[in-house]
Structure 1
Amino acid sequence: MAAADDASRPFAGLSDVSISGDIPVEGDISVPVGSSRRDGDEYSTLDEPVKETILRDLRAVGNKFVHVLYPTRSSALLRDWDLWGPLLLCVALALLLQGGAADHDEQGGPQFAEVFVIIWFGSIIITLNSKLLGGTISFFQSLCVLGYCILPLTVAMAVCRLVLIGGSGTVSFAVRLAVVTASFGWSTFASTAFLGDSQPANRKALVVYPVFLFYFVIGWMILTFSPSQ
């Protein structure tokens, strides 16, 4: 019977437990205001106005453009990657390449969709090649770098369109050749400056060569562009 009574009262012994007055039994679960503020500023944008969100994203894209124009071996372009800048540059370059004389030929010129395919498919191939060669950079980080480094070539395309307004003679071709060559070298140098440290030392040449071809094809499309009459 005693065993049955003990089984029916499993917590009966707790009434004899006493808590010493020296042991604190109160606590504070409030979160410090300073740390909560930092976490909210860095990660939470739920209460942020739409205008502020757009301006913040535009500032981030602008900062990445500055990094491309002044390339250094920095991880800033890799740490906060995005595809908004590459998409903007791809659309701008595709629009600038429209209206060429080759668009009306039988063979056709670089249409809007074709420029998109060349840029994005080329970027994906280079990224896969980098990963297969042992690169430590992520897939979308590589796409971000390759896309942002099209900026010099996009600027060169805008300059070439302005030069072609004055005619398409020998002087015009020489100016366009110089501009495209400089922008091609700038794009290649900027991309390798960001991607160089993520590749094995003995395989960097195998990674740089596809990047060279990628920007060369884009530069060739810009150089051979001629406006329709």
Structure 2
Amino acid sequence: MAAAEEHNRPLFDGLSNVSVADNIPVEGEITIPVPSQSQDDDSSTLDEPVKDTIMRDVKAVGKKFVHVLFPKKSSALLRDWDLWGPLILCVSLALMLQGGSTNSKKDDGGPQFAEVFVIIWFGAVVITLNSKLLGGTLSFFQSLCVLGYCIMPLTVAMVVCRLIFLGSSGKVGFAFRFVVVVTSFGWSTFASTAFLADSQPPNRKALAVYPIFLFYFVIGWMVLTFVPSSK
């Protein structure tokens, strides 16, 4: 019987005796939190002027050249990789090597340009694949970026050799060119290994460095043996 009376009692019976204290706020504002702008939105370049985009890329390429001139264990060259610098260096070197004495009987230096271009990029790809097969931790394009940017000392050596030919082409000139090319070859090899050697297992570093040595040796040999065609 008591259970039946309890069941028939109104649901909100007893709430009329509840009092609300005066110091308890019973009204306020409902605000919807606005999410803060993410870092990705701040770094968006969709609305950036083309001039600013180009200048930012040029500065990034210039910083990578500085890393090659002063090689140190830095992740900047590996983290922000690009192929603009290697492409510029490859084209510049191929253009300067075009029209040598070995190609003087030809009317067009195009094949020689293509040969230099293919040797550089094919060699970089082979070294990268070798590095990956040996268990390297760098990605394919990171390795290409490092190998391409480290051609810069040999490209500078080619410019110096061109200038030496304007003054002297005898034994003295060859001696100067030899010193410049050997120094640039050592610099390119040292700079590339400073970035790539640590990505290899300790017991396989020699197998990874040896193809790099041959790669820059071939490019240095092309620079050293270059003789302008006499017209």
Q: CA deviation at 1:143?
A: 0.1
For these two proteins, the number of residue pairs brought into alignment is 204
Q: CA deviation at 1:206?
A: 0.2
**Distance in 2 separating the partners of 1:73 and 1:27:** 50
2:117 aligned partner, one-letter code:
F
Q: CA deviation at 1:74?
A: 1.0
Alignment of 1:121 onto 2:125 = no
- What does 1:19-168 align with in structure 2 at a 5 Å threshold? 26-32=30-36, 35-36=37-38, 38-42=39-43, 44-105=44-105, 111-168=112-169
Q: Which has the larger radius of gyration?
A: 2
Question: Deviation per CA, 1:24-77, whole angstroms, max 9, x where unpaired?
Answer: 994524132xx44x43342x1000000000000000000000000000011110
Alignment of 1:228 onto 2:229 = yes
**Distance in 1 separating the partners of 2:149 and 2:132:** 19
Where 1:82 maps in the other structure, the secondary structure is: coil
Q: CA deviation at 1:221?
A: 0.2
What does residue 183 of structure 2 align with?
A: 182
C-alpha distance 25-190 of structure 1, shift in aligned 2 (>3 A): same
Q: CA deviation at 1:123?
A: 0.2
What does residue 5 of structure 1 align with?
A: none
Question: Deviation per CA, 1:159-198, whole angstroms, max 9, x where unpaired?
Answer: 0000011131000000000000000000000000001111
What does residue 217 of structure 1 align with?
A: 218
**Distance in 2 separating the partners of 1:131 and 1:214:** 17
What does residue 7 of structure 1 align with?
A: none
- Stretches of structure 2 that go unaligned for 5 or more consecutive residues are 1-24
Q: CA deviation at 1:104?
A: 1.9
**Distance in 2 separating the partners of 1:96 and 1:29:** 62
What does residue 170 of structure 1 align with?
A: 171
**Distance in 1 separating the partners of 2:138 and 2:29:** 51
2:157 aligned partner, one-letter code:
A
How many percent of aligned residue pairs carry the same amino acid?
Answer: 72
**Distance in 2 separating the partners of 1:148 and 1:72:** 14
Q: CA deviation at 1:215?
A: 0.1
What does residue 203 of structure 1 align with?
A: 204
**Distance in 1 separating the partners of 2:185 and 2:32:** 61
**Distance in 2 separating the partners of 1:25 and 1:207:** 66
1:174 aligned partner, one-letter code:
A
1:51 aligned partner, one-letter code:
K
Instruction: Answer with 47-56 or 110-119: which moved more.
Output: 110-119
C-alpha distance 136-104 of structure 1, shift in aligned 2 (>3 A): same
**Distance in 2 separating the partners of 1:114 and 1:105:** 17
**Distance in 2 separating the partners of 1:222 and 1:199:** 30
What does residue 18 of structure 1 align with?
A: none
- Stretches of structure 1 that go unaligned for 5 or more consecutive residues are 1-20
What does residue 193 of structure 1 align with?
A: 194
C-alpha distance 29-69 of structure 1, shift in aligned 2 (>3 A): same
Q: CA deviation at 1:100?
A: 1.1
